[in-house]
């Protein structure tokens, strides 16, 4: 195959752009590794930070991030998968309700994360939380205050479009022959979805869940208003407690530490841990997607 001059020009431009992106990623990872790797130790990962934010460890931030992510996953997966099943398996192509739901999902995907934080503060903390306090007759705020529960629900709404869209694509990838065969054998629509469609789409669904978890684990703006704490040297034991978060801890170390220069090693160590968690989750998503595609081809 012969290439014209324009083809070589396009090939060079795209290759240069790819090299530029890889170079930027390599520089970022290299700087973080260079500055953060010497800080990583058992004490750093298993101890609480000190009051001056220049020493100690990041255990409360790791624990808070894991707890928040688990609660968010428990909230978003059932709703997201159920919505995708309705849109794919039950709603007719011309359904007005399905069109409204898809439009709402698309709009949610384009809303800035800081807006979700303000929504979580207004709806979950001030409306639902204070409403519960009023109904229970509490003299002091019990539910109507920032907490890990409200942060998790806010992030669940933020990541809902990711779960819905990826689950829809996974369900559409299941051959219609499987559905027709199950229906021909006397299975109901619900039985077909539960025992045939969902099991064959589990790889794509899990990929969407992991991608949603990866995004939620790195978000900071929504949780600033709804539950994240700047300094909290103990682990949360209740859904109504505030918590530390790796992403917010990075922001606090970079902007609110009394001695930013002294806190720099801890800052890069925290960034390295956060990047490791995020990259690991994305790698899991890639592996799940590859295996699900291989299973469908087989």
- Whether residue 238 is contained in a domain is answered as yes
CATH number, domain with residue 121: 1.10.3720.10
Whole-Å CA distances, 247 to 1, 58, 68, 133, 162: 50, 11, 12, 30, 20
Kindly tell me the burial class for residue 1, based on how many C-beta atoms sit within 10 Å of its own C-beta (0-12, 13-18, 19 or more).
Answer: exposed
Range of the domain at 182: 40-297
Write out the E strands in 40-98.
none
- Whether residue 132 is contained in a domain is answered as yes
Distance separating alpha carbons of residues 72 and 160, to the nearest angstrom: 10
Indicate the pTM of the whole model. 0.86
Listed residue (222, 225, 200, 269) closest to 53, CA to CA: 269
HSE at residue 296, side-chain half, CA atoms within 13 A, is 20
- Whether residue 27 is contained in a domain is answered as no
How many separate domains does the chain show? 1
Distance separating alpha carbons of residues 129 and 135, to the nearest angstrom: 10
Q: What is the pLDDT of residue 212?
A: 85
Diameter of the chain by CA atoms?
80
Q: What is the pLDDT of residue 2?
A: 61
- Whether residue 24 is contained in a domain is answered as no
pLDDT tens digits along 74-90: 999 999 999 999 999 88
Per-residue pLDDT for 122 more than 90?
yes
Listed residue (73, 30, 29, 82) closest to 215, CA to CA: 73
Per-residue pLDDT for 188 more than 90?
no
Q: What is the pLDDT of residue 297?
A: 64
How many C-beta atoms surround the C-beta of residue 179 within 10 A? 18
- Whether residue 30 is contained in a domain is answered as no
- Whether residue 275 is contained in a domain is answered as yes
Distance separating alpha carbons of residues 68 and 160, to the nearest angstrom: 15
Summarize the chain as % helix, strand, coil (round to 5): 75, 0, 25
Distance separating alpha carbons of residues 125 and 226, to the nearest angstrom: 7
Average pLDDT over residues 130-136: 90
Phi, psi of 137 (to 5 degrees): 70, 30
- Whether residue 170 is contained in a domain is answered as yes
- Whether residue 5 is contained in a domain is answered as no
Residues sharing a CB contact under 8 Å with residue 217, sequence separation 6 or more, in sequence order: 65, 68, 69, 246, 247, 277, 278, 281
Instruction: Report the chain's mean pLDDT, rounded to a whole number.
Output: 86
Average pLDDT over residues 149-171: 92
Q: What is the pLDDT of residue 117?
A: 92
Containing H/E element for 1? none
Contact 214, 278 (CB under 8 A): yes
HSE at residue 134, side-chain half, CA atoms within 13 A, is 7
Whole-Å CA distances, 205 to 23, 133, 230, 274, 281: 32, 37, 35, 24, 14
Q: Which of 224-238, 245-259, 284-298 has the lowest mean pLDDT?
A: 284-298
């Amino acid at each position: 195959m012969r290439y014209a001059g324009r083809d070589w020009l396009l090939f060079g431009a795209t290759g240069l752009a790819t090299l530029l992106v890889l170079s930027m990623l390599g520089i970022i990872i290299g700087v973080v590794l260079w500055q953060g790797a010497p800080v990583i130790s058992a004490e750093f990962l298993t101890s609480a930070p000190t009051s001056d934010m220049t020493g100690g460890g990041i255990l409360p931030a790791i624990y808070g991030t894991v707890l928040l992510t688990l609660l968010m996953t428990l909230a978003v997966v059932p709703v997201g998968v159920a919505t995708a099943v309705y849109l794919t398996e039950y709603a007719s192509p011309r359904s007005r309700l399905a069109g409204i739901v898809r439009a709402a999902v698309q709009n949610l995907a384009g809303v800035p994360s800081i807006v979700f934080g303000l929504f979580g503060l207004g709806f979950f903390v001030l409306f639902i939380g204070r409403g519960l306090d009023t109904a229970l007759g509490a003299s002091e705020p019990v539910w109507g205050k920032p907490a890990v529960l409200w942060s998790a629900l806010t992030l669940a709404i933020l990541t809902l479009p990711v779960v819905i869209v990826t689950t829809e694509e996974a369900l559409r990838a299941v051959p219609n022959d499987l559905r027709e065969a199950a229906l021909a054998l006397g299975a109901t629509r619900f039985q077909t979805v539960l025992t045939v469609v969902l099991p064959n789409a589990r790889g794509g669904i899990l990929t969407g869940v992991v991608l949603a978890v990866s995004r939620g684990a790195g978000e900071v703006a929504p949780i600033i208003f709804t539950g994240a704490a700047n300094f909290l040297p103990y682990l949360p034991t209740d859904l109504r407690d505030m918590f530390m978060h790796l992403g917010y801890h990075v922001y606090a170390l970079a902007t609110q530490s009394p001695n930013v220069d002294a806190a720099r090693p801890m800052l890069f160590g925290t960034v390295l841990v956060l990047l490791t968690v995020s990259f690991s989750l994305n790698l899991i998503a890639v592996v799940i997607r590859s295996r699900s595609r291989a299973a469908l081809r087989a």
